[in-house]
Chains A and B, each alone.
Chain A
Amino acid sequence: MSTVTPFIASVLLLAAAPAWAAKTTKAPSKPQPVPAAEPDRAVTAAEPDQPARGALDFNLFDEPGSPAAGVAASDADAITDKARTRRSRLRTHQVLGGTTWTVMAATAVVGQLNYNDSYGSGAGSGKWLWPHRILSYSTALLFAGTATFALIAPEPYERPLALDTALLHRIAVVGATAGLLTQVVLGFMTARQADAGNSRDLKTMAKTHQIVGYATLGFLTLAGAVWLF
């Protein structure tokens, strides 16, 4: 027994030592390795609705990321459809808006020529009368069409009311609408009075028509320009 006992003790100590040593050497004292920089940026795109793959296929957030909390899949589809419709209509609105501004500017130029011809130093030939009328009608129709496409564009996402470019655009458009309606009424009144041969206050009405016309063009210019800021 006396010779066997130290041997057994040594064996037990040796058996226990590796486990102890392994645990003590597991301390996180290793410096952080930094992977070598890749020479080129490698970009690969996955298809929509497909989760991450390989080493990046993990989710550290318990709750699913899609669809959004409180939005059912069918509702999400409806919102996406509305967004698509909105984009289409606002693209048309944008194109029509630019066209309306161009035609309105031409109307103002021709209107000024007509004013000069009728009430200025012109010969009163009336050669600008119909071009001005055609351009005026075209402007009114384009303006109405542009407004319609904006008004029927659905709003899939809430837009809180705030003093931003969209609100300034709307304010300017309200001014342009008021000016255009005034122009239609004033233009008809002035034309009918002139057709009837009643020259009383005719020049004053024409002058008012001219001022309101420029103001309307100014409002429409502002409505478009605010998007640049």
Chain B
Amino acid sequence: MTTRHLLLVLLFASLLAQPAPALADSAKLVGKGSVSYRLVHKFHKVTGNSSMLDVRAVVDDTGLKVMARTPVTSFSSGNANRDAHALEVLDAAHFPFVSVRATLSGFRLPTQPQTNKLRMECQVELHGVAVTHPVDVTVTWKDSKTATVAFEFDESLTAHKVERPSLMYVAVDDKLKITGQANLEVRP
């Protein structure tokens, strides 16, 4: 083998040794959605809706991290007086957001449309009190870039140190049913 051959081999080897084009080892997801609460009182049931759910997520080597939040002032139950009362018991001035943080280790972005039912470790912060528990989430990937997330879980008002509102001297049930959905999009 001549010196010219040696140089060609070295050139080829050096090309192989160059860093390959960077593959996405982390991705951000952002999205908007809606969330509702359902509260039960002996005399009637109350549903409050907010369409200001903001979702952000990061997928990296460790898995998935999600944070979602909604301003407590954005919930409407169709009764302005009741909504104002809700802000009072939730101390909206000090705790303006209800937020959820969740993680899922080992998560990878899918490469094709699919639906996954995931159980995520979640921390729900309401009234400045964080409560951690698993939450079941259904994620439907339309393609590798967009997904729809649906969730449903129960929260305890007393666990969040929220004084249960009463009507006609009867307090509302402790259980608060939360449902919602969000549309997520992968951002580079």
Contacts and interface: CB of A to CB of B under 8 A. Distances in A.
Interface of A: 1-2, 5-6, 8-9, 12-13, 15-17, 19-20, 23-24, 26-38, 41-50, 52, 55-56, 58-61, 65-69, 71, 75-77, 79-80, 83, 86-87, 94, 98, 155-162, 164-166, 227-229
Nearest to B56: A60
B115 to A, nearest CB: 11
Contacts of A15: 13, 17
A157 B92 contact: yes
10 contacts: A23-B19, A28-B24, A28-B108, A34-B118, A45-B130, A46-B131, A60-B67, A94-B169, A164-B81, A228-B168
Binding site of B, secondary structure by majority: helix, strand, loop or mixed?
A: mixed
Given A9-B6, A46-B129, A165-B81, A32 B13 contact: no
A47 B95 CA distance: 13
B108 A66 contact: no
Q: Which residue of A16, A86, A160 has the most chain B CB atoms within 10 A of its CB atom?
A: A16
Nearest to A95: B169
Interface residues of B, number: 78
A12 B9 contact: yes
Contact of B111 (A29, A45, A227): A29
Given A157-B84, A228-B44, A80 B118 contact: no
A15 B25 CA distance: 24
Contact of A34 (B69, B117, B128, B131): B117
Interface in B18-65: 19-20, 23-25, 43-44, 54, 56-58, 65
Contact of A33 (B23, B44, B88, B107): B107
Contacts of A30: 108
B132 A44 contact: yes
Contacts of A60: 56-58, 65-67
Given A45-B130, A156-B88, A12 B10 contact: yes
Nearest to A228: B43
A52 B130 contact: yes
Given A26-B23, A162-B80, A164-B78, 17 more contacts: A5-B6, A8-B6, A12-B9, A15-B13, A26-B25, A32-B107, A34-B117, A35-B105, A42-B132, A47-B129, A48-B128, A61-B67, A66-B97, A68-B73, A80-B93, A86-B88, A162-B79
Contact of B119 (A2, A35, A50, A67): A35
Contact of B87 (A24, A32, A157): A157
Q: Which residue of A9, A47, A98, A161 has the most chain B CB atoms within 10 A of its CB atom?
A: A9
B61 to A, nearest CB: 10
A164 B80 contact: yes
Contact of A48 (B13, B14, B93, B129): B129
A137 B126 CA distance: 47
B128 A9 contact: no
Nearest to B63: A33
B15 to A, nearest CB: 8
Given A20-B16, A29-B111, A58-B65, A76 B123 contact: no
B67 A5 contact: no
